[in-house]
Amino acid sequence: MEDQRRTPGSQTSLREANRARIVDAIKKHGGLTQVELAGATGLSPATVSNIVKEGVGTGLLHTATITRSGRRAQHVTLAHTLGLFVGVHFSTRHMRIALADAAHTVVAEHHMPLAKDHRADNELDKTTLLLADMLDSVDASMPDVLAVGIAVPAPLDRETGTTARNGIMRGWDGVAVAEVMQRRLKRPVFVDNAANLSALAEFRLGAARGKSNSVTLDIGDGIGAGLILNGAIFRGHNGVAGEFGHTTILENGPLCRCGNRGCLEAIAGGPALLDDLREQLGTIKLNDVVLRAMSGEPTSMRALADAGRHIGVAAANLCNLLDPERIVVGGELSRAGELLLGPLRHAVERSIIVGPDLMPEIVQGQLGARAATLGAAVYAVDSVNILPEDRSD
């Protein structure tokens, strides 16, 4: 009997490798025309056409006719029926969860406030129950979930899966979030820093789309940076790259929650901004400062401008090190638009080493408060092999 095993040089192995290249390209870009797929994968148009036709037949891919540059083209995405993916974002005060398909279309979403210094075990339990309800609302169940992505506002130790430094996210110290949730859900779970996943979402779906070297700043209660270098998240050797808010900009400055002094976050982060305003405006929330500034209230406008200048000086250092093509500004304070971005941009212009023609674009994020949640869902899609023969439990 002829040996039917799949040797590395066999036509079957080659077809599977080519199919995997096409799926990876679609994951990366969200959807491409067949001509764009040929360019992205290096495969011939005929090979792409055959694999796409086969993928549509097996339920792996979906095609739709679109008009591109005046010509009709077949736009290829992953099939919506492949399965579901979950994105969860835990911030210091809120939790947001989204249920999406492989094409990144959100089919259900929920948001809830969290108590100050909430505990991980309580919130992970709530998330498990909430996810079950959301699945029920779309006539699905847990086996339909192929992967879960979770964004947390802290650097993670790659070896242990726990926060890299105690005190950054009180109530979550020492918790291996992926391991704990995987036990609860019996599904693959992947965890990353919220700033990284916000950057991933803006790169795939938002304001940094098509920019292979970009920085996304997450400015709110904390200040983080997600780095996209050569089209991929840069996490560094230990997985803690991008702790932009904990760069020292004022030696012997105010004490930061990380234990150091003079961190950018301790000077321009949300709590620092509110502390500075308390004497004049009393006890208010960060959202109130943004709304007051947008309505023209001078004290709040000045506070945001000062924060923007401090962040801009630090961002210029980042630009001089990394030379990004675009800086995307997200997070709660970014809702103030040019009230924050204008001073930030001017500070970068003054401090960056290159001329104005080489300065990166500095733009507002497009995904708002949903960025890290959507990024977590994208991360979940990226982290598992969705080819049909590999989807068994």
Which phi and psi (to 5°) does residue 176 adopt? -85, 90
Which phi and psi (to 5°) does residue 338 adopt? -65, -20
Please state, rounded to an integer, the average pLDDT across all residues of the chain: 89
Closest-CA residue to 280 (of 271, 289, 268)? 289
pLDDT score, position 233: 95
Rounded-to-integer distance, Cα 31 and Cα 36, Å: 9
* Pair type for strands 326-330 and 361-364: parallel
Crossing angle of the two packed helices 298-322 and 338-351, in degrees rounded to 10: 40
pLDDT score, position 167: 66
pLDDT score, position 14: 86
The mean pLDDT value for 140-163 works out to: 88
Q: Does the structure show a pLDDT above 50 at 391? A: no
Rounded-to-integer distance, Cα 332 and Cα 26, Å: 31
Residue 150 carries which DSSP code? E
- Token digits of residue 290: 């943004």
The alpha carbon of 336 is separated from its chain's Cα centroid by a whole number of angstroms, namely 21
Rounded-to-integer distance, Cα 47 and Cα 282, Å: 66
pLDDT interval class at 1 (50, 70, 90): very low
Rg of the chain taking only CA atoms, in angstroms = 23
pLDDT score, position 386: 78
Do the Cβ atoms of 131 and 207 come closer than 8 Å?
no
- Token digits of residue 73: 């083209």
**pLDDT higher at 80 or 187:** 187
pLDDT score, position 4: 43
Burial (CB count within 10 angstroms: exposed 0-12, middle 13-18, buried 19+), residue 230: exposed
Do the Cβ atoms of 260 and 246 come closer than 8 Å?
yes
The mean pLDDT value for 290-305 works out to: 96
Do the Cβ atoms of 63 and 81 come closer than 8 Å?
no
Closest-CA residue to 180 (of 119, 139, 115, 221)? 119
pLDDT interval class at 388 (50, 70, 90): low
Do the Cβ atoms of 146 and 188 come closer than 8 Å?
yes
The alpha carbon of 303 is separated from its chain's Cα centroid by a whole number of angstroms, namely 27
Which phi and psi (to 5°) does residue 245 adopt? -70, -15
Closest-CA residue to 340 (of 325, 348, 329)? 329
pLDDT score, position 9: 54
Residues linked to residue 263 through DSSP beta bridges, in sequence order: 248
Q: Does the structure show a pLDDT above 90 at 154? A: no
- Side-chain-side CA neighbours of 221 within 13 Å: the count stands at 14
pLDDT interval class at 31 (50, 70, 90): confident
Percent residues over pLDDT 90 in the chain: 59
Rounded-to-integer distance, Cα 76 and Cα 63, Å: 5
Lowest mean pLDDT among 258-262, 305-309, 338-342, 368-372: 258-262
pLDDT tens string 58-76: 888 888 888 877 888 888 8
pLDDT interval class at 380 (50, 70, 90): very high
pLDDT tens string 171-219: 788 889 999 999 999 999 999 999 999 999 999 999 999 899 999 999 9
Element of type H or E holding 268 = helix 264-268
**pLDDT higher at 160 or 35:** 35
Do the Cβ atoms of 223 and 311 come closer than 8 Å?
yes
The mean pLDDT value for 343-361 works out to: 92
Q: Does the structure show a pLDDT above 80 at 348? A: yes
Rounded-to-integer distance, Cα 232 and Cα 358, Å: 22
pLDDT tens string 2-16: 444 444 556 778 888
Q: Which residues contact 336 (CB under 8 A, 6 or more apart)?
A: 290, 293, 294, 304
Q: Does the structure show a pLDDT above 70 at 56? A: yes
pLDDT score, position 389: 54
Its pTM stands at: 0.85
